[in-house]
Structure 1
Amino acid sequence: MFIRKKPNKSGVISVQVIAKINGKSKLIKTIGSSRDEKTIKELTEKGHHYIATFGGQTALDFSDETNLIQSVFQQIDSHTEVGTELLLGKIFDDVGFNVIDDQIFRQLVLSRLTYPVSKLKTSDYLEKYHDLEYPVQQIYRYMDKLHSTQKELVQQISYEHTKHVLGGQVTIVFYDVTTLYFEIDHEDTLRKTGFSKEGKHQNPQIVLGLLVSRNGYPLAYDIFEGNKFEGHTMLPVLDAFKEKYRLDQLVIIADSGLLSNANIEELQEKGYEFILGARIKNEKKQIQEQILALSLKNGESAVIEKDGLKLIVTYSDSRAKKDSQNREKGLQKLEKRIKTGKLTKSSINNRGYNKYLKMDGEINIEIDYTKYNADAAWDGLKGYISNAFLGKDEIIENYGHLWQIEKAFRISKTDLKIRPIYHRAQRRIEAHICISFVAYKIYKELERQLKSLNSKLSPEKAIEIAKTIYQIKATVKGKSVAQILLINDQQKKLAQLFNFG
């Protein structure tokens, strides 16, 4: 059984106890209804208590160990892992994803957080640890439904919840892309070879564009062909997001990979404010001279007017040290390759530190140390291009939050294991990414709630603890009894923190 919070057209939330019977959801009891968040939380707690005692089930009495061993442990009917449902299921409901009345959706999302594997292995996992039967073909059929009817609803739920936790409005968004490769030999209409951020240039891939808010809460996403230039993905995602939620004002923040004259012109034409990372070394000679003439000290910044835009340049000692170290490492690699004779004419290009190479005559390759030394003048400098009606310091501070989207991709690829993707059909690839999007939203809300509860637990650690919490069910003297096993201090503290057990 589980708790469902069902809103009606007037915004009243009904807290219900639902049971899964013969694969269908059945209403067992309506606990109550309210618009007030505090009252809804109290009703939800009553619902969990009702589930714990429903149908004659009673909590086991652990005070009499001899009786417990004789009357219970020898008559156990089942044991299931319940910690992830008690923890992550609560977060799932808090965000509002429970309005999607498909239990298989819930289980696929929670499994992505706890045991991110193929759909076939997910089916086995749910049966083995949660006593739930979802044959893999049923999962595939649901993914088709998710793609065709629920993908937009999922993003809307995420947006509405994010808007709520941010105080009622979303005006600043962050955009970035990543690539997801497939271990296949042949391309199709979606999976194509292109520039891979993972260094898998020989593998067909897709491009994933993600839009997040401050603090890294996911707002929207889309996927594109693997050979699509990342700069051409931003405006479609932005336009769809702005139109869907009828947003008048939006400030978009993105790194220099999304910087192009075409993008800047289109952003301005459509009334967007933007803060983009600038490629200051690629500016015209006049602008470069102005930048190098600034003589900035640690923590200082300056504004240069450029074609009606603000080019903001900052300097940091720590960045200068890192830039210098990276240049030195690059130079050492080049010197080693020249010394061993492994550097040929085919190596000459303008990528990375190869820009320090030059050809003398037909075959003699050497390092241009003059260019290497001149590059030191740029150490520690970073630029931003913007038309935003914000002060210089506000622009720099807002751009500094861009790391949140890099964290989102890192979590998606490592903890949620968004790849490998085992699907071939585009609709199922999109459904898989949709499930991962929801899982990441749950992760971020868990992170937010842990912080608000002043807990030092990370989301990863909380999930790890939850996965160790089991419930046993037994029949004693004709009565069904159940007990959640909170054995160690970590389990007990987590249960107390989130009010379950």
Structure 2
Amino acid sequence: MYLRKTQRRNRDGSVVRYLQLANNRRVGGTTQAEVLVNLGREDNLDVDALRRLIASINRYLGDADDVCAPLGAETGPLSVDSARPVGAIWLLDGLWRMLEIDKALAGVLGTRRFRTDVERVIFALVANRAIAPSSKLAAADWVTHTVAIPGLDGMDEDQAYRAMDLLVSADTQGEVSRAVFFSAANLLNLEVDLIFFDTTSTYFERDGEAETDGKGGGGLRRFGHSKDHRRDLPQIVIGLAVTREGIPVRVWVWPGNTSDMTVIEQVKDDLRDWRLGRVVTVTDSGFSSRENMAYLQRAGGHYICGVKMREGSGQAAEALSRQGRYQQVRDNLRVKEVKLASDPGRRWIICHNPVEAERDKTRRDAQLEAIGQELERIAAARAADLNKAQAKAARQGKQRVSAKPADAVHRRAECALRDHPSLGRWLKQHPSTGRLSSDGAKVKAEANLDGKYLIATSDPDLTPEDVALGYKNLLEAEAAFRTMKTTLDLRPVYHRLDERITAHVLLCWLALLLIRVAERRTGHSWRTINRELSRIHEVTLAGPAGRLTQTTTLTPAQAQLFKDCGIAPPPKMSGLQPTE
């Protein structure tokens, strides 16, 4: 930041000079001067007012300078008008502009003009979701009174909802997602040969489903299989595609009763329109129907998918029964490729994790021990009750003893054990007596699957190691969902209109994109980045000479975070407003 002189030559040959407060900013590969304040003509400049401002600044910095103080003038004390956190928001705004999300939004919104800057309002909602997730009313108050958003002094709830509606209308055909993806891919050099796709669900704090349009359509809020274990509440299904680096590239929203098997065609078609070239789609076993796999192979595409091993699939059983040597990939991963004559178009990769195998065995042994103890307790209690009944009958002189009342109690205990969510799978009920015992055949069958998972792929070029490691990277999609549901507070959702529901998910997706880029570049979790940078405040000082905005001094750790992300830190001083 510096004082800059400019001049203008009049027709009569006289020269008029002007004084400006300027700052150099790097735009692309060039440096451009940005004028912060025009101080006016040099011959009309109030030098004493400028000296008073300099003295006020020096006093705040602790560097008193008597030379700058005007003789016989009282500069007066400085007062702090406001102090707002700016560090984390400044980093997110820098990433937002670096990824050219602002240009992408401007491109899809077109030439329409609005009374407020819609792009700034959308960014403010995204920043709120990443830093302090809250409702749209609370977010408007947060932007207006709590934090400093570059280019936005404040907003209200109506402006927030208006921006959300415009975001959804602009992304009707995925224009925003497409523009954001290609900006991020070009800048971050993303590898998009593998696309990882998964779905999750999130619920609403409402009792009923959405109203339909009377024709069997409309309404995202539907009851369905809840992955949040909230079947009592309506929900939506969310699909997310991420790269192998964990960068989310697109998000989808479907009604809550949508089955995973029915969405692959739409995902494939939407990504095909982006013309990404050769793409291998990675999914889990919930999408592994023959129809879905055949659709993923259209237009030269390929897939890597998990295969369910415990549901009686003939091909899975045949693949697991094949002999062969495992190849050591890592300390905790071995792979073996087998081929089936019944399905020559697919490759089958058996993966074995010794650590996970030992964990499965330990867990199963503990459950079998608990089952044995419970069955022994029930048998002992039944025998004790029968002995009591026999003793009572003997005292009464009865010849026969009825064990039905006591036996009914013990049968209820056995039924509760049989229906136990984790222990019941190891039990079988004998048809003749109705008694329970451990199912040795099932225990043996499960022991053969300890630490194993089965993968099928249509790609003829990938090595078994690449297939196995590619499938393991599907955890990136699961990690993205965890971040959306915890850090970004995706759930619960309180919106009623479908457009607002979709906009809420889009805002969470954009926030996830920014924090994933920040985590990838710094090597720190977003929780750590947010905590460290939120300590940077923008302080507005006021005095007789004018107003000035100053940023607190950065610590080495804070400066390093900005450097790692390639974002210039906030300026030390800005917003100079001399008193008229």
TM over 0.5: yes
Find the residue that maps to 2:339 and give its secondary structure.
strand
Q: Which residue of 1 aligns with 2:406?
A: none
2:126 counterpart letter in structure 1? V
Alignment partner, residue 76 of structure 1: 80
Q: Distance in 2 between matches of 1:157 and 1:30?
A: 31
Which segment is superposed worse, 304-313 or 112-121?
Answer: 304-313
* C-alpha distance 439-379 of structure 1, shift in aligned 2 (>3 A): same
Match of 2:361 in 1: 324
* CA distance, structure 1, for counterparts of residue 494 and residue 77 of structure 2: 41
Q: Identify the match of residue 64 of structure 1 among 62, 65, 81.
A: 62
1:216 shift after superposition: 1.1
Q: Give the percent of matched residue pairs that are identical in Structure 1 and Structure 2.
A: 24
Q: CA deviation at 1:92?
A: 1.0
CA apart distance, 1:357: 2.5
For structure 2, list consecutive stretches of 5 or more residues without a partner in the other structure: 1-21, 40-49, 66-73, 107-118, 211-218, 329-333, 379-411, 571-580
Distance 1:76 1:63, change over 3 A: closer
Matches within 5 A, 1:2-17: none
Q: Determine whether 1:108 maps to 2:125.
A: yes
Name the residue aligned to 1:233. 263
The Cα of 1:392 is off from its aligned counterpart by 1.7
For the 8 Å contact 1:79–1:471, the answer to whether it is kept is yes
Rounded to whole Å, the distance in 1 between the matches of 2:63 and 2:233 is 60
Other-structure match for 2:154: 133
CA distance in structure 1 between the partners assigned to 2:446 and 2:190 by the alignment: 46
427-436 or 304-313, larger mean C-alpha shift:
304-313
Instruction: Please list the CA deviations of residues 308-354 of structure 1 after superposition, one character each: whole Å capped at 9, or x if unmatched.
Output: 211111222112112223333444565567657545289569x8664
Q: Distance in 2 between matches of 1:337 and 1:145?
A: 60
Residue 449 of structure 1 and its aligned partner are, at CA, apart by 2.3
Instruction: Check 1:311–1:198 CA distance in 2 against 1; reply closer, same or farther (3 A cut).
Output: same
Q: In the TM superposition, what are the counterparts of 1:34-183 in structure 2 within 5 Å?
A: 37-39=28-30, 60-61=57-58, 62-64=60-62, 74-99=78-103, 100-101=105-106, 102-130=119-147, 132-150=153-171, 152-165=174-187, 167=189, 170-183=192-205
Tell me how far 1:86 sits from its aligned partner.
Answer: 1.9
Amino acid at match of 2:288: L
Among 513, 519, 534, which residue is 1:467 paired with?
Answer: 534
- Note if contact 1:249-1:272 (Cα within 8 Å) is conserved in structure 2: yes
Counterpart Cα distance in 2 of 1:72 and 1:122: 37
Cα offset, 1:191, TM superposition: 1.4
Question: TM-score, normalization: structure 1?
Answer: 0.81
Partner of 1:6: none
1:371 and 2:435 are equivalent in the alignment: no
> Structure 2: how far apart are the matches of 1:248 and 1:368?
51
1:38-84 deviation line (CA, Å, top 9, x unaligned) = 44xx55xx65xx55x787998943542679xx978742222222212
CA distance in 2, matches of 1:293, 1:72: 88
Q: Distance in 1 between matches of 2:88 and 2:474?
A: 30
Please report the RMSD computed on the Cα atoms of aligned residues, expressed in angstroms.
3.3
Tell me the residue number matched to 2:339. 304
Q: Which residue of 2 aligns with 1:435?
A: 507
| CA distance in 2: counterparts of 1:185 and 1:412, whole angstroms | 23
Instruction: Give the whole-Å Cα distance in 2 for the aligned partners of 1:488 and 1:499.
Output: 14
Could you give the per-residue CA deviations for residues 78-127 of structure 1, whole angstroms, max 9, x where no partner exists? 22222123211111111111223521011111111111111111122112
Residue of structure 2 in register with 1:12 after alignment: none
Letter in 2 for 1:321: E
What is the TM-score when the length of structure 2 is the normalising length?
A: 0.71
Question: Structure 2 CA distance, aligned partners of 1:478 and 1:163?
Answer: 48
Distance 1:368 1:139 in 2: 59
Q: Is the 8 A contact 1:82 1:470 kept in 2?
A: yes
Q: Please give the alpha-carbon distance, in whole angstroms, between the structure 2 residues aligned to 1:178 and 1:335.
A: 37
Tell me the secondary structure at the aligned position of residue 344 of structure 1.
helix
Equivalent-residue separation in structure 1 for 2:555 and 2:277 (angstroms): 52
Question: Which of 559, 569, 579 is matched with 1:500 structurally?
Answer: 569
Q: Which runs of 5+ in 1 are unaligned?
A: 1-28, 452-456
**How does 1:94-493 map onto structure 2 within 5 Å?**
94-99=98-103, 100-101=105-106, 102-130=119-147, 132-150=153-171, 152-165=174-187, 167=189, 170-188=192-210, 189-243=219-273, 245-269=274-298, 271-282=300-311, 284=313, 288=317, 291-294=320-323, 296=325, 299-305=334-340, 306-307=342-343, 308-332=345-369, 334=371, 341-344=412-415, 354-361=424-431, 363-389=434-460, 390-451=462-523, 457-486=524-553, 490-491=557-558, 493=560
Aligned-pair CA distance for 1:363: 4.1
Deviations 1:349-370 (A, max 9, x none): 9x86643332223743333133
Larger deviation, residues 323-332 vs 376-385:
323-332
- Give, in angstroms, the shift of residue 473 of structure 1: 1.4
Letter in 1 for 2:189: G
Query: In the aligned structure 1, how far is the partner of 2:75 from the partner of 2:423?
Result: 73
**2: distance between equivalents of 1:487 and 1:30?**
19
The 8 Å contact of residues 281 and 296 in structure 2, kept in 1 or not, is answered as no
